Amino acid sequence: MAKLKATVYVTLKPEVLDPQGKAVLGALTSLGFASVRDVRVGKLIELQLEADAGTAPAAVKDMCEKLLANTVIERYRISVE
């Protein structure tokens, strides 16, 4: 068993509207950042694991599928170090 860090990046699927992203875009534009054309807001989840490096990615994927991401409207990307 090794101490590992898993990072999960969760974002809305491209076809899903992102009202929070639109609000951030509006705020940035009003602050003078006119070059910004679109904003998508997501979440970053960091997990400290004590697991086998070979099985950790599958375990984190299972966590995403069951709890960390709503796979109907979100997609996720996993990194294990």
Domain ranges of the chain: 2-80
Q: Does domain 2-80 have CATH number 3.30.1280.10?
A: yes
Mean pLDDT of each 10-residue bin along the chain, 81 residues long: 96 98 98 98 98 94 98 98 93
Cβ-contact 78, 6 below 8 angstroms: yes
Distance CA 28, CA 21 (A): 10
| DSSP-assigned beta bridge partners for residue 44 | 9
pLDDT (0 to 100) of residue 1: 85
Q: Work out the number of other CB atoms within 10 angstroms of the CB of residue 52.
A: 11
